[in-house]
Chain A
Amino acid sequence: MTESVSLPRRAWRGFRGRARRWTAILRLAPAAGRGLLLLGVVLNLALGALPSGFVLAMSVLLDHVAADPAGSGSPWSAVGPALAVAVGAFLLHQALVPFQTAVGEIVSRRVDGYCVRRLMSAALCEAPVGALEDRAALELLSDARTAFERSMPTPGDAVAGVVALVARYTQLVSAAVLVAVMLSPLAGVLIAATALVVRFGQRGSLGRFNVLFTGLSGERRAMGYVRGLGLGAGLAKEVRILGLLPWLLDRQRKETMAYLTPLWEGRRRLMFWPFVALAAVGLAGGGTVLTLLGDAGGHGLSVLAFVVALQAVAILMRFGVYFPESDVQTQVGMQSYTALRRFEETARHAAGTRAGSGGGQAPVPAPRTAISFRGVRFRYHEDGPEILRGLDLDLAAGRSTAIVGLNGAGKTTLLKLLARLYDPTAGHITVDGAELTGIDPRVWQRQLAVIFQDYNRYELTAGENIALGASAPPGDAVVAAAAERAGAGPVLAGLPTARARCCPGATPAGPTSPAASGSASRSPAPSARSPPARRCSSWTSPPPNWTSAPRSSSSTASWRPPGG
């Protein structure tokens, strides 16, 4: 917080920031579907206007009652309809309130669904792999993702919050109009202004608090990680055998307090004294208007006008400082969306600076001579070590080549360059003499079959896991054949149902089965593709299926590309 920046300038910046946030929410709102959004707005308009309708009807009624003291004829002909309208308005209001929440939840889910899809798209389709390993990008992704794990308000909650605000502000406007008409325009403006000052004053504090909150994201990430340690299966064995529970609980508490202590100090600083000041403003404005009203009442203001104005002033003075259905949501919910947009920008920037994704969409013919590396150099980060230093290598077509070396020698990196997940920082990779950078990476990748050491385990059915390897969704027969080829038949047979989902640990052989028998889930993946131009795999451990020689020789045989 720079002291040198003047107050008006800061206020302007604050205002601009707020305006940007609200416009972002409004622009995101159509993701809920225009029909639903319209329904929500109309519902909220009704909810906001009905109380004022009630006030008016009751005041008309009281006017008649006061004008007709007891005994002089039946005032029911005038009072009756007014009463009916008042009760009707009340009834309608009560009946509509539950729908406000329900519609809000539906809107929220729709918007969140849109945001999640957009996040996945950004991460998978737009961002090159390098962007996903950049520390700043990772933090953006984490922030964008956390909200959807429902620990924080989501962008959907923010949109639902804005829709709910329609009811609140409709109520404010209608009550202010009533005061202005019945008492005096000045009073109407004064009381509305008081209500708004108090409301926005508090809202501004919430905004400043939010800056503090954002600044603690590192501490939150740390806290989230340590909390997750105790709840997943990852540390379970160690906790039991090494007796880690006390240490873990203590660590968790330390992390939480490291986060909460600055949070509380800031919250108290920003939300205590400023609020006392706002209360003084409220007292001044409200007191003045009520005094005006009291004086006017004694000087010939009609009962109708008096009662309307009084009730309206009460509504306005109760306009409230904290709206639980929208304040936190609109303040914080968009953080996830902001993180998403910043990530998209980063991804676009990174994708733009990548070397040539030129070339047509036509599949590249299988290499006839060789894939060659000439003077290839590579490092992951500018300030990181150089992994490959002037590598010259020829991978002859039609032959299987094994690459061996100590850990850290660059074997996996070589594979990543071959798969065009990264481009060399210097040197050339050529396919039959043509530059690899001249081929569209996606076209190239579609013709590869790759298994990495840390391959993905999808929490889908076993069949779906295998089927993901194919370039187009394959039939059951293809999946079964691929499973057989890789020796995964027994694993599939052993699962509880044919379509059993591979939850980490739901397989009958226990949680390490995917690991130990992971070889089986590895191998089928490339087999489901046909026909690839090049097959490569990364094993730094010995062939997993050493016990059954006939099977392993058949899978080795399938590594040779058809036709040499």
Chain B
Amino acid sequence: MIDWSWFPTNAERLVPALGAHLLLALLPVVIGLIVAIPLGWVANRSRPARAVLVPVAGLLYTIPSLVLFILLPGILGTQILDPVNVVVALSVYTVALLVRSVADALAAVPGMVVAAATAMGYRPARRFAQVELPLSLPVLIAGLRVATVTNISLVSVGALIGIGGLGYFITDGFGRGNTTSIFAGVILIVVLALVFDALLVLIGRLVTPWVGVGRKAR
């Protein structure tokens, strides 16, 4: 079923595809995070903004990835084979997912804490950066984990329209009846997703050292 000798002979193709796959999946996570934090902040602050942003995010998340990969060239004026389409599409999904996470996380910061920070003289901008955002990190990281794993899996759909990454080994393997190639693509994608998920859990523990401390102390 799996011909293990295929891997070393195809390493020259596998390694660049792995790199391309990661770039196509993770760049949108970074872009999405940068865009979603201010949007989530606005959605948390203003009720009308939330009433627009959250349903729009839900609507965008409803559109299948293949559809977005194909419609974006028409909207952006890019070539159909341009990897930018995949980056933009996955960034849109990441923003759609994270806006809600950020808004909910900020809303869940206890009012007392915000009031205490205000009383200590924190101005809104500094209070947001040093108090509210750090306290919403656990929820934000939960959202980032979902976005990262989903993106790593979704990049493979791009292979259907000829955009690189590990999905190529699935479509090419299917075309040639080479099951090893299909499994290589699938297994590497799943392993990448699990590795980056674990990495985010680890980062989460490092950046929120206070989580769980109170529980253990009691």
A and B: real partners?
no
Listed in ascending order, the chain A residues whose CB lies under 8 Å from chain B are none
Listed in ascending order, the chain B residues whose CB lies under 8 Å from chain A are none
